[in-house]
Amino acid sequence: MADMQLLRLDHAPALLAFEQENRAYFAASIPDRGDSYFSAFAERHGDLLTEQAAGLLFFHVLVSDAGPKKEIVGRVNLVDVKDGSAELGYRIAEKAAGKGLATDAVRRICVLAAETYGLTALRARTTLDNPASRAVLTRTGFVPTGDIDISGSPGTSYIRTLS
């Protein structure tokens, strides 16, 4: 499928390209990051690596292992790490969508979160108009916990206990 790698400084150019190439695709189902995300990308990337070193978050990229060119085809993030839990977020490139990559990545991050980061639960949320993400969460053992608002769109929050 794809190699899951903890985010590093040298991922920055490929990660920026991934976000730029898929911006419109992502914005169709989740709130857009805005122009400032892209204009301040290098500074933000460095800040995230500092937070990651402090154990406040863990960002991962999915690097394609198919073909001669290694490229980022997704990302899986654990943010707001505290009290044994974290918020899960993920994005899969349009060209890699629908191939089971998100489901595989979420399953792998659940194991990594428990075994490497010592977490006992993951939280997630998605809008109601994102059936693919809702299906991934359900397939990977997340349980709905309630209705929420996500940037003005109706959504659902989820939790998964890790063992």
12 or 69, greater pLDDT: 12
**Crossing angle (nearest 10°) for helices 131-139 and 101-115:** 50
Contact 26, 91 (CB under 8 A): yes
pLDDT of residue 68: 66
Residue 99 has pLDDT above 70, yes or no: yes
Question: For residue 24, what pLDDT band results from cuts at 50, 70 and 90?
Answer: very high
pLDDT of residue 117: 97
CB atoms within 10 A of CB 68: 4
Residue 67 has pLDDT above 80, yes or no: no
Residue 1 has pLDDT above 90, yes or no: no
Question: For residue 28, what pLDDT band results from cuts at 50, 70 and 90?
Answer: confident
Q: What is the mean pLDDT of residues 53-80?
A: 91
81 or 28, greater pLDDT: 81
Q: What is the mean pLDDT of residues 110-124?
A: 98
Q: How buried is 4 (Cβ within 10 angstroms: 0-12 exposed, 13-18 middle, 19+ buried)?
A: middle
CATH superfamily of 2-119: Gcn5-related N-acetyltransferase (GNAT) (3.40.630.30)
Reported pTM: 0.92
Could you give phi then psi for residue 130, rounded to 5 degrees?
-120, 75
pLDDT of residue 161: 98
Q: What is the mean pLDDT of the chain?
A: 93
Q: What is the mean pLDDT of residues 139-162?
A: 95
